[in-house]
Each structure stands twice: as C-alpha cells, then as structure tokens.
Structure 1
Amino acid sequence: MSDAGAPVPASTKDDGLDAALLDRLFNQSVVGLHVLDPQLRLVRVSSPPGSDLAERVLGRHFTDAYHLDRPNSTGELLQRVLDTGVPVHDRLVHGRAEGAPGPSRSFLVTVFRLNGKQGQVLGLLAAVVDVTEREKARTRAIYRARLLRNVGRSLDMATTCQGLVEAVVPGFADFAVVEVVDDVLRGADPPIGPLGAEVPLRRAALRGLKDAEGRDGLVSDTRRLPAGTPFALAVSDLQPRHVALDADSPWLAADPQTARVMRALDAHSLMVVPLTLHGAVLGLVSLYRGPGSEPYDANDTTLAQTAAVHVALSIDNARRYERDHVIASTVQRRLLPQGDSARIAVDTAHVLLPGRNIGCWFDTIGLSGARTALVVGNVAGHGLQTAITMGQLRTVIQALAGLDLEPAEVLARLNDTADRLAAERAALPAGDRLHRESLKASCVYAVYDPFSRTCTVARAGHPAPIVIAPDGSAPAVDVPEGPALFASESAPFATAVLEIDEGSILAFATGALLPDDESAARVRRALARPDPNLQRLCDGVVYSQPTGSLPDGAALLLARTGRVPPDRVATWELVHERTTPAVARTLVRDRLDGWNLDDETVQATELIVSELVTNAVRYGTPPLHLRLILDRSLTCEVHDSSPVAPHLRHARTVDEGGRGLFIVSQLATHWGTRYDQHGKALWTEQEVPGLR
C-alpha cells in the first residue's frame, strides 16, 4: 500500500529549504533582521533590494554601525541577552544607520540568543521594526493632551498664551512665539481677516532657547508683519504655512527679526499658524525647529491647526472676560469715593487692589458731632452685576449712616435690603444666568467719636478691625461676628465699643488681606512701623504681602484717630430756664466773632441756636449743653436728657408757635436728632464760605 500521504521524515527533507527560507527572510521581510557574533559584530543584515546597508555595517560593532541616542544602554542590553540567554521583546530605541540621512528614527527591537546544537553561544538575532511614524503619532497625541491640559483653564490671555508655548516646547518645537493683535489684548473685538499690514501684534508669550529669547526681545514687544513673509501670508488667507528656512531666502531681508531667531537657533524649519475665530484674526503662532528635529510636515500642520483653534477660542473667552472686567472695574471705581474725605478728628488713607473680585468697597462718611463712619465691604464675585450690587449696598449704607443709627442697626437694615435684592434675583426667569448665581457679601461698619474716644463697631461676616496703639502694640479686639449679608441666618447683629487712644490706627480690610492669623500678624507688623504718613503705612501693608497672594484683589482703609482742636470747639453747660436762649445767643455771637465768621453766618447761627435751646427748655429735661464745632462746616448741637424728639411741622397762619424747627431747616444745610444713653442731641450743619 502506498504511503504517499504520510509526513516526510525530517531526515528526508530537502536540504535546500532552510537556505531558501533564510534568503527570503533577509531579502524580502519587512522586519529588519540582524545577526551578531559573540563580539556583537554584525555578520548578516537584511536590507531591501538596491540598498547598500549591508556593505556599510557588516563587520562593525552594533553600536558603531548605528548612531544611537543611548549607545551605552543598548550595548549593555545586547550583552545581557548574550550572557543570560533571556530574550528582550519590543524595546524602543532611537537612532539611525551609518550614513543614513536625516534625524534619528524610532525602532522596536526584539533580541534572541542563538545557540548551537551542543549549546554553544553562536551570537544574537535582533529583529528591528521601524515605528517612527507610529511614535510620531503617539507623540502628537501627547502634545495634544498637554495642550488641552495647559490651555483654556484660565481667563487670563497671558496665561493662555504661555500655556500654549509650554505645551509645545520642547518636543514639538524648539522655539515658539505667540503674538496677539494689540487691540484684542485690551478687550476689543478682533479684526476680520485679512489682517492689514498696519495692524500691530504684541508678543504675548515665547519659549525656547535662552539665546534666542535674549536676541529677539521680550514679551510685550510689538511689531507689524512685513509684506511678502510667511507671517503676512498666513494672516492674509488665514491658512498655515510651513517653510524651510534658508539664510539665502529673499523674504528674510524684509524680516530681520526672524533672521535673528533663525541664526540663534540654527533653525531649519518654520511653521506659522494664524489664530482665527469665525473669520476674525486674533493673532499668530510661530514654531521653529532646529538641529536634531525633523522638518514640519502635513501631519504636524494638522496638529498645529487643532491647537490654534483651541487657543483662539480660549483667547477669545479671555478677551470677553477682560472686556467685561474692564467695564466692571470702571463701574466699581466710579461707585467708590471720588473726593477728599478728610475729617477734623481723623486722618484716613486707603488702597484698592484690582483683581478678579469687583465687589470690594470702602467709605469714610462724616457724621454729626465730628464723628466719622468707617466702612469696608465686599460682594463676592466678578463682572458688572457684582459691581452693581456693591453700588446698591454702598448707597443704602450711606443713607442709613445719615440717620445716626447704631452700627448694629445699620447692618440689620442693610441686611433687609440684601434680602430684597436676593429675592429679586431669585424671581428672575430660570434661563437667566443671574438666577443661578447666589449672592454673598460682608461688611464692617464703625463710628469713631473723638469726644468720647470710642469706636463703635459691628460686622456682618467680615474680619474684625485691627487696632494699633500709639506705642505700636496691637491690643486684642473683640467684636462679635454677625451673619454675612445674603446669608440664610437670621441671628442679630451685635455692637462692640472700643476705647481708642488718640493717635491709634484703625485698620479695616476685606477678607483677602486677613484670611488667617498669620496674615493678620503680617498686617499688624506692617502697621506697627512708625510713620507719620498714613498712605505710606497703607502701601507698606501691600508691600508686605507675598507675591501673587491677592488674585481676587482687596480693599484696605486706615484711620488714625485724633481729636478736635480746642480752638475749633466750644462747649457750654446751660441752666434750664426761660432766659437761657438769650444767654446762648450771646455766647454764640462772641465765639463766632472770635472765629472771624461773616455777619450773615453769625446771624443765622444765633437764630438756629435760639430755636434749638428754646425747644430744649420747653420740652427737654436738664442737664442742658450747647456745643459749636468749626470743621469743614459749622455744627451746632444742643443736648438734653429727654428721649422725646421734636418733629418738624408747618404752623398755620394764626398759630403763635410751632415754626422753630421749620426755621432751623431753612437756615441749616443739614439737621437731625441723634440719641445716646444719656438722652438726645439736636444738631445742625451750615456751609460756611471759605471753610472748604
């Protein structure tokens, strides 16, 4: 029976099969095969037809035949396989064959030891696969991920541009520059392309070799794009360009800046990508490659365009934010005190640090009796609506201050207003952005009285003031904290009365300056330095802050306590009888003559004092005091111990009385009643020509 279908014994196989197989592997395989002897010299190499690779490398040590990025590491790997027989699979190495043009390429190497029939070591077999394109694609994916991570997380244009250059250098570029249209950096709308040659671009970020940075200027330099250059062409048709740099290129003569960069880097390849959005030009990205890097190709251009789209969108978002921030900051500045707030018994200074938060405010409000209200507050948030809310609260607190209420009562009524504002916002349509934004604010309100040497303070979710005594010490300040404005809490506000020595410094600041005990101690140290100039002390607090510690901005209000000069105040204790108004008129006339006030002011003041004293004698209770204060206006005060306040009314023609307060209201610029634990005071203020 025939055995034609049975396997052929190994001993009967054609001896030429092995040779044919090896010939095919070494001449037709897409995998590069390298046979090395025990001395790691190449004895056989697969190479494509027409290649002279074998002639150039045979007989040479592996690390001599190939220019490897890490030759020692590769040599140790080969020797270890030769010594141990343990193969190495898919090890990535970078290099190029001897005499091969271009930069290094990426190879995936697998190495086996070759043993003879008796187990003797014959050498190594290394299978090499060129994975350069795969590695390029993987590297581009890494740069793309790095770009998404670095860019778009900030609404600051400089940070956005810096994120781009940090994502691409080093690796994708050896030197990168981002230029933005100058007006766009200021928040203006970007121009529609093509970009005219007269439009300046400002360098917003750069990264690369220090030598190139030093020779090519600094961030914030501006330039106009020379005609006939890749830069001008890119912003003309809004398409990227990648060009080979050659010192003999004619267009470099028109662009000496690029020529300097090229020489400093020895750059051979340039890619220019416009930053565009909806046909508008925001800027330009320039990427350079030097020795050791491959020229840019179409795949690189695709990645650069993807990056440019993401960066352009981020820059436009930052531009819109910058414009809104500038508008909101302008509104904030307009809503804050604009004129001189000097008072007779207190010296003040302030500083407002700009930042993301637009809700900081401060106020110095003159009150009757030479008293001064000191206010600092903060509405959390940014944008125009935050500034508007701040303005609403500041207006309310100014109106409440004029009512001579206790600080706790002022904050309680301010909180009522905050609740109404919150209710109005909650009533907005659900689609309105403001409907989803909660409101939060804090405020501290204090009143300094130079006659009692006290400062009465109340606070709503705000840091307590810092007090620095004349000797530089910082006594402890205990001011109960009330709930923040717009909070859901309904706890009452409390008032603390602080006894203040003349020459002390009161510091009121927003929470950004006083976030913790260490920050408060730093502020106290800055204020404890002796300096008669309060503004310098105010600036010193700012200088003491760590760099970058106040990104949201802050407000600081300082007040140095003083007294009313003895020659600017007169006080009399009056008897409680019917002749007292006449006596008061005489005392006032003599005092005003001593102050050299004009006759019209003297006559008006006599009449005011006569009416106030008459009212106190008829309806008040002793003791009775009269006080005149000459400040930026003339203040008259009549004190008595009765808690009953008179009311302004319009007397009928036949009435014999009832016109006193009406007359007072016509002669005085301001008038009112204030209460304390000892009774009440009726007061008036008159504008006196020449005092302001």
Structure 2
Amino acid sequence: MVTTDSGGTVTEWDERARALLGHPRAVAVGRSATEVFGEQVSHEVGEALQERTLWIGTAPVRHRDGHFVSTWLMAKRQEGDRGIEWLLSASPKAGPLAEEDRSLAEWGFNRSSHHIGLFDTDMRAMRVNVAFERAAALPEDQIRGLLPSEIVVSEASPQVDQAMREVIETGEERQVDTYARVPGESEEHAWSIALAPLTNPEGVVCGALLTASDRTKHYWARRRLQLVNEAGSRIGSTLDITRTAQELVDVTMPRFADYVAVDLLSFTHQGDEPSSTSPSGPVRMRRTAMGAVGREFPEGTMQPGDPIDYPVGSPVAERLALGVPSMYEITEATLADWAVHDPERAARIRRYGAHSIMVVPMRARGVTLGVALFARRESPTRFQSDDLLLAEEITARAAVCIDNARRYERERQTAVTLQRSLLPQALPDQAALEIATRYLPAGGQAGVGGDWFDIIPLSGARVGLVVGDVVGHGIQAAATMGRLRGAVRTLADIDLPPDELLTHLDDVVIRLGAEDFAAEAEATGDIGATCLYAVYDPVVGRCSMASAGHPLPAVVRPDGTAHTLDAPIGPPLGLGGLPFETAEFDLPEGSLLALYTDGLIEARSHDVEAGRDTLLRVLDCPDETEPSLDSLCDDAFAALLPDRPDDDSVLLIARTRRLDESQVATWEVPSDPAAVAEARTDAVRRLAAWELDEEIRFTAELVVSELVTNAIRYGLPPIQLRLIHDRAVICEVSDTSYTSPRLRRARVYDEGGRGLLLVAQLTQRWGTRYTPTGKTIWADLTSPSE
C-alpha cells in the first residue's frame, strides 16, 4: 500500500511494498514515483487519474535490483487532510493454476451451499454440484443432458427455460423467483435463480451458469412481516367488536390459515366488568367471527353470534385457563386425547381433515377476552413455531382493539342508558295534541349526545313542547341534558311564557358552565346548548314559541300547505345578556307540528335546506286524509338518516286538536261579593249539563266560591270565571291584578287564610299564571272515577 501526493512524491510506504519491490521505507518515501515504479507505470497511472478517480490494471513495476515484476495494480484518487493524494494497491499477478489450485476450485464447486449447474448452448446440463444433486434427487450422471424443466418439474419450469434461452441469446443475466417442491418433500420451497452467460476469451457465449438459492426462510419471514404490517393497518378500523373480530379473520385467512374463528367471552358483548382471573372449568363463549376456505367449517352450520361451549380438559379451556397459546399437530393420538373430554368436537375435526391447529388466547391489559382458533387443511405446510409467534402477535393486536371497542361500547351503553332514562318514558295524559316521538343516538365513534325532547302538560289544558340539543357527546353531554330538562320542567311548571323561560334557562346554563369550570370538569367551562319551547292552547288553537339557537318547527296545515315557521331565533343558551322573543301562530285543528334537532336534517350527504325540504315532503301526505304519526316518524328517519348517523336525532310530531265550544264556559263576574253565589250557581249548573257526578260538582262549587271571593277581595276588575271540561275539570279565575296569592297555614284566631289551603286539599293541583293583562288562578279538579 503506497500513497503519493499530487506532485507524484511518495508519502507512505508499508512493509508489504518493501517485500514486493525491495525498497525500504526510508529509501522510498520522499522520492519521485517515477524513480520508484518506473516511467511506464507512472505515465499510465498519471494519465488515467487525470480523467477518472479509479484505475485498475496490470503493469510491469521495476524492482530495486532492476528487474520488472508483473503486478496487478489499483490506483485511486482521493482528497484527504493533506490535499489530493493517490492511493496505490499492488499485488503480484497470478500465474497459471497449479494442480492443487485446480483441486481447490473443484472442491469449492461441489461444497457450495448454492445449487450450481452448468448448461451448454442447447440448455442441456453439463455439470452440477452436490447441492444441485440433492435438490433434484438425482445423481449428476442422470442429470447430464436434461433441460432445466426436465430436472425439476413444476409450474414455473417453463419460465426458467425461457429465461435461460434469453441469457444464451442475448448474453445478459436474468433473475427468476419461483416456487417448487423438492422431490421427497411435501412443502414448496421459494427459490431465487440467477442465470449468467458463460463466455470464452473471445466473448462468445458457450453456455449458461444456473445458481439457485433456497430463500424459503427469507420468503416466509417477509410474508410474516407483511402480514403483521397489514394486521396493524386493517385490524381495529372501527370501534365495533364484531367487525374488529372479523377483520382478524379476514387478514389471516386464507394466506395464513385455511380456517379462522374468534370466540369471545360473554362480558365483551354485554358490557359487564371482566373477571380479574382467567376462566377455569367449562367455558361458554359466543362465536363472534369466522371464515374458512371453501366455506366449509368444522362446526357445520354454526353462525356468528351463536353460543359455543368448551368442556373442562378441552384444548381451548386449557389454553384459556393458562393464558398461553399452543400448537397441535392433528394425529390419531391427538384426537384420541381430545375425545376423552370433547368427543363431538374431536369427531368434527377428524371429518374436517385439518392437519395442524393453533389455539391462541386473546388477552389485553391483563384481561382474557376470548380465543382465536387457526387451522390448516388445504395448505400442506404445517404450523411452525414461528407461525405460533406470528399468530400470538396478530391476536394480541386484535385483542387490544377489541378491548378498546368493548370499553367504548360499555361507555356508550352507559351514556345511552343515562340518556334514555332522562328522556320521557311515556307520553303524558293530555288531549290537546296527538303526539309521536323518535330518538336515535349517534352511531360510530361519536356516541350518544345531548339531544332531548319533552311534553309538559300545563294549566288551562295547554301543552308545552320542548326540543333541545347539548353540544358534545358521551356521558357528560347526557348528564348536562338531564339537568337542563329538569330546569325546563321546573320553569314550565310556574307557567312562564316561552321567552321568559328561555331567559331563565340561559342563566341556568351559565351557572352550570361556571360550576364545571370550577370543578375542572372535562368541559372547558362552556356548555353549548340550543332549545325551542312551544306552548299550544287547544281552547283558542294558538301556539306560542321561542327559540334559543334551535331550528324552527315544520308545519303542515290541513289544506296541505307545508312550510317552516317564520319566527325570530335567539342566540344559543349560555351566552347571556341577549333577549329572546316569543312568536305566536294560529294552528287550525288537524295541523301537523314537527319539532326536531339538527341531527335529523343535517348530514354529510345533504345540507340543512335539502334536509328540511325532505322532511316537509315526508310530512305532506296528500294521499292520506290523516296519516299515522308513528309511520310519519319512521318515514322521516328512513328518508333522512343513514344506518349510523353522526349525530343524535330527535323528532316530535304533534297533530293539533281544538276543544269544542261546548267544553268551555266563560262568565264575566262583577266585582261584588254578592256575585259569588251566582258564580257558584252557574258553575254547578254547567257541571250538571256536562253530566259530571255530584262529588266533583260539590268540589267545584267550593273552589269557585273561594277563587272568585279572593279575586273580588284582593284583585282588580274585570274578573272572569272560566270552566274547561277536558280530561279533568279546570277552574280558572282571572283578574287584572299582578298580586299573586300564596298558600299559608292560618293561626287559631285568624279569620282568613284558609281558602287556598282548602283549594289545595280538594284539587289535584293549582297555581297562578300571569298574562299580559293580569293573572289567572287555576285549579284542576279530577273525578274520583278518573
């Protein structure tokens, strides 16, 4: 090894250079390369390195004693710390092979682990090594003269012949990757075959060199790696337990196994808490997913979702108890052992014809979820230890995804249960509206949200309708919805008009947000919600409503006119300080009023306007005189919602009714205590005309007397008495005073204060309702028979 600087002066000279050329290092270093190597070498190398950075060749190099040594020489130009240098490597040129060298070459040819064959220009075998003989299961003298396709017969043999023909014709190398079964073995091997031309010194192709390498281990290692990567990308695409289990089946069948099944313990589907220990004893599971080549299953007619039992001592029960996977080669002895504990399943496996089976428990976060079963029947290759490791890794990934889906499903079921428990469980008893409702929680990963509805019977036979939507999903949204629904019912119970009710509800939302922020809840302190509150009065056929950022209802009148109500929409709840406005509409008897949340009309497939138009088309049924409200709800959901909507959806459809004039009686009462007796008489006479029993007439007489007396004594004229015969008898006394009476217990010597206490005891309920012109004291009287 020698180096020179850019000027050609020797800078390094090692001991091997001294042995080759005779110059000691002290003599060579510092001298010109021309003096040391001779002019011919210096000239050839110098010119070559000016044009390229590397030169290789042979040249006569002068020895110290004056003779020339035929030398193989490599010169390389490089840049180092000392600037541009030339690195020269030299060794003596080899002469003709000695006999022992020829023997060494022959030994190397035969002992090579690669399968080597020499073929002439007719593609006939001339020489093969020992490894080639073993692979072909033929001695060399029987291989000579055969074509490659005649030596090893397989589907890929013509491909090898064609590639060798191209090598001989073009003189270019070829590569063929193929699969062939070695004689005497049942499993196919992966082969990488390299074909190179054999040329004489004149460059004429005289034959072809075939070198085959068994790449089976590398092939299966690559296949396993690809399978693991694919499992990571395909398994767990959703938070659905059944689909995740089926994804495990689809990834591993048929490339890895001919039959795959996933059985899960019951708690994964039911949302129960898992046991802290692995199951022992007989095990009942549920077949969650399965797949087989040719759709032929060991279990026959079993379908996903069917229960499946594994007795004590069966392979599945044992593996679940131990929590470790196992691999079984199916032999008569194996089936005989299984038949002791599970004869029916052992017989089915014998009929199915599987030759190897793996049982892999599915565990995630220390919890046993179930088991994955793998079997091979069509594939001749039996499961190996590497296959068991692969199955364990893929199953572990699937188990984590299934456990995530189980946890999500448990939380979702909890939220749905909470949501449904906070929604009305039954429609209230009222006659003003015929009502049908639908609620559908969100599907997919969104989970249940905070949509709600309510029907609230009010005084004077009126009915309050509520729809609302809390921003967000999950338990937090459902809990917030329940708090808001309770607040709405409380505010509605004191007969607030719609705009005032929403104003108070806005304050409630602001306080709830402040409480959540102070408690460092999951929310950021802001609770977003919308709400629409409507009140329908069947006596006058009028509807009043107010909206806090919520979509307005759709209306279909009896004449077929369908439209969305035009009314002011206030800001969403929780902003504070902004007013709400009440709008009033006349609704003829038989009109349809549809209240909904935005999840019904808004979807990825259409915008809000298109969804609203679709809802109006569904509600407008010209072919039916009075369509069923339940069928309208079903038709609306079918037309507007996919199978798994992205948001909660609520639909409330009400058909309006009017009270007949004969069901309402109204009297103007003079502001004179003497008018109380006449009011009592008129009320009793009307109750008798309505054919009500004497007990309720007696109660009504006392209530009318007390309420009219209070209005005359403490109220302001004009005073009005109204009786409404609905499901109950409603007694209302109105005046223009805003002073509200309150219930109190009279002391022993008090002369008054017992009237309202008497009314409260005799009626089902009573209260005060404020109007723009004053107040109304009302009381519901229910017959004992009702």
Displacement of 1:212:
2.2
Match in the other structure for 1:352: 439
Distance 1:449 1:215, change over 3 A: same
The answer on 1:397 being equivalent to 2:488 is yes
Alpha carbons 1:354, 1:554 under 8 Å: kept:
yes
Distance 1:400 1:59, change over 3 A: farther
Alpha carbons 1:226, 1:255 under 8 Å: kept:
no
Matches of residues 462-477 of structure 1 in structure 2 within 5 Å? Answer: 462-477=550-565
Alpha carbons 1:229, 1:255 under 8 Å: kept:
no
Displacement of 1:285:
0.6
The answer on 1:222 being equivalent to 2:313 is no
Displacement of 1:305:
2.1
- For residues 33-73 of structure 1, the C-alpha deviation after alignment (integer angstroms, 9 at most, x for no partner) is 34445555554444428726254765444455446666666
Measure the CA separation in 1 of the matches of 2:200 and 2:118: 14
Q: Which region of structure 1 is more displaced relative to structure 2, 1-10 or 618-627?
A: 1-10
The answer on 1:23 being equivalent to 2:106 is yes
Alpha carbons 1:443, 1:461 under 8 Å: kept:
yes
Measure the CA separation in 2 of the matches of 1:573 and 1:270: 92
Letter in 2 for 1:510: T
The answer on 1:306 being equivalent to 2:393 is yes
Matches of residues 500-579 of structure 1 in structure 2 within 5 Å? Answer: 500-515=587-602, 516-517=607-608, 518-529=610-621, 530=624, 532-544=627-639, 547-550=642-645, 553-574=648-669, 579=674
Matches of residues 204-219 of structure 1 in structure 2 within 5 Å? Answer: 204-212=288-296, 215-219=300-304
Letter in 2 for 1:404: D
Q: Which region of structure 1 is more displaced relative to structure 2, 406-415 or 359-368?
A: 406-415
Measure the CA separation in 2 of the matches of 1:455 and 1:170: 65
3-state SS, counterpart of residue 262 of structure 2: strand
1:274 to 342, 348, 361: 361
- For residues 99-121 of structure 1, the C-alpha deviation after alignment (integer angstroms, 9 at most, x for no partner) is 25233333334433344455544
Distance 1:120 1:311, change over 3 A: same
Letter in 2 for 1:281: T
2:249 to 157, 160, 165: 165
- For residues 501-521 of structure 1, the C-alpha deviation after alignment (integer angstroms, 9 at most, x for no partner) is 321222223333221334444
Alpha carbons 2:116, 2:131 under 8 Å: kept:
no
- For residues 484-529 of structure 1, the C-alpha deviation after alignment (integer angstroms, 9 at most, x for no partner) is 445x576443434343232122222333322133444444444334
Q: How many percent of aligned residue pairs carry the same amino acid? A: 35
Q: Which region of structure 1 is more displaced relative to structure 2, 396-405 or 9-18?
A: 9-18
The answer on 1:648 being equivalent to 2:734 is no
Alpha carbons 2:434, 2:654 under 8 Å: kept:
yes
Match in the other structure for 1:589: 684
3-state SS, counterpart of residue 279 of structure 2: coil
1:377 to 465, 468, 472: 468
Larger radius of gyration: 2
Letter in 2 for 1:443: C
Q: TM-score, normalised by structure 2?
A: 0.77
Matches of residues 41-52 of structure 1 in structure 2 within 5 Å? Answer: 42-48=125-131, 51=134
2:478 to 375, 387, 398: 387
3-state SS, counterpart of residue 564 of structure 2: coil
Measure the CA separation in 2 of the matches of 1:658 and 1:382: 51
Distance 1:500 1:81, change over 3 A: farther
Q: Which region of structure 1 is more displaced relative to structure 2, 280-289 or 104-113?
A: 104-113
Root mean square deviation, CA, Å: 3.7
Alpha carbons 2:278, 2:320 under 8 Å: kept:
yes
Letter in 2 for 1:198: P
Displacement of 1:690:
1.9
Letter in 2 for 1:400: L
The answer on 1:423 being equivalent to 2:514 is yes
Measure the CA separation in 2 of the matches of 1:189 and 1:21: 72
Distance 1:72 1:545, change over 3 A: farther
- For residues 73-94 of structure 1, the C-alpha deviation after alignment (integer angstroms, 9 at most, x for no partner) is 66665555555444346x6x23
3-state SS, counterpart of residue 501 of structure 2: helix
Measure the CA separation in 2 of the matches of 1:72 and 1:621: 112
Match in the other structure for 1:408: 499
Distance 1:658 1:200, change over 3 A: closer
Alpha carbons 1:675, 1:681 under 8 Å: kept:
yes
Measure the CA separation in 2 of the matches of 1:261 and 1:514: 53
Q: Which region of structure 1 is more displaced relative to structure 2, 289-298 or 671-680?
A: 671-680
- For residues 561-592 of structure 1, the C-alpha deviation after alignment (integer angstroms, 9 at most, x for no partner) is 11124443333455666654333222211111
Measure the CA separation in 1 of the matches of 2:124 and 2:525: 73
1:32 to 115, 118, 129: 115
The answer on 1:335 being equivalent to 2:425 is no
Alpha carbons 1:363, 1:374 under 8 Å: kept:
yes
Match in the other structure for 1:235: 320
Measure the CA separation in 2 of the matches of 1:85 and 1:185: 66
- For residues 242-300 of structure 1, the C-alpha deviation after alignment (integer angstroms, 9 at most, x for no partner) is 11234773256535456546755x53221101123576532111012232352221122
- For residues 325-373 of structure 1, the C-alpha deviation after alignment (integer angstroms, 9 at most, x for no partner) is 4444333333332344131110112233355205343211101121111
Measure the CA separation in 1 of the matches of 2:600 and 2:346: 46
- For residues 611-660 of structure 1, the C-alpha deviation after alignment (integer angstroms, 9 at most, x for no partner) is 433444566566554321223332112344x3623332757777766765
1:449 to 537, 548, 551: 537
- For residues 158-203 of structure 1, the C-alpha deviation after alignment (integer angstroms, 9 at most, x for no partner) is 2332232233223222221110112342122334555334331111
Distance 1:303 1:359, change over 3 A: same
Alpha carbons 2:283, 2:311 under 8 Å: kept:
no
Measure the CA separation in 1 of the matches of 2:144 and 2:526: 76
Measure the CA separation in 2 of the matches of 1:73 and 1:560: 78
Aligned length: 683
Measure the CA separation in 2 of the matches of 1:618 and 1:182: 71
Measure the CA separation in 2 of the matches of 1:107 and 1:314: 37
- For residues 375-415 of structure 1, the C-alpha deviation after alignment (integer angstroms, 9 at most, x for no partner) is 22343555544433222111111101112222232223223
Matches of residues 473-488 of structure 1 in structure 2 within 5 Å? Answer: 473-486=561-574
Distance 1:575 1:61, change over 3 A: farther
Measure the CA separation in 2 of the matches of 1:496 and 1:68: 85
Matches of residues 139-218 of structure 1 in structure 2 within 5 Å? Answer: 139-152=223-236, 154-191=238-275, 195-212=279-296, 215-218=300-303
Alpha carbons 1:203, 1:219 under 8 Å: kept:
yes
Measure the CA separation in 2 of the matches of 1:627 and 1:41: 117
Quick one: higher RCO (CA 8 Å, sep 6+), 1 or 2? 1
Matches of residues 592-607 of structure 1 in structure 2 within 5 Å? Answer: 592-607=687-702
Measure the CA separation in 1 of the matches of 2:559 and 2:207: 88
Alpha carbons 2:260, 2:291 under 8 Å: kept:
yes
Match in the other structure for 1:250: 336
Q: TM-score, normalised by structure 1?
A: 0.86
Measure the CA separation in 2 of the matches of 1:123 and 1:541: 79
Measure the CA separation in 1 of the matches of 2:112 and 2:402: 51
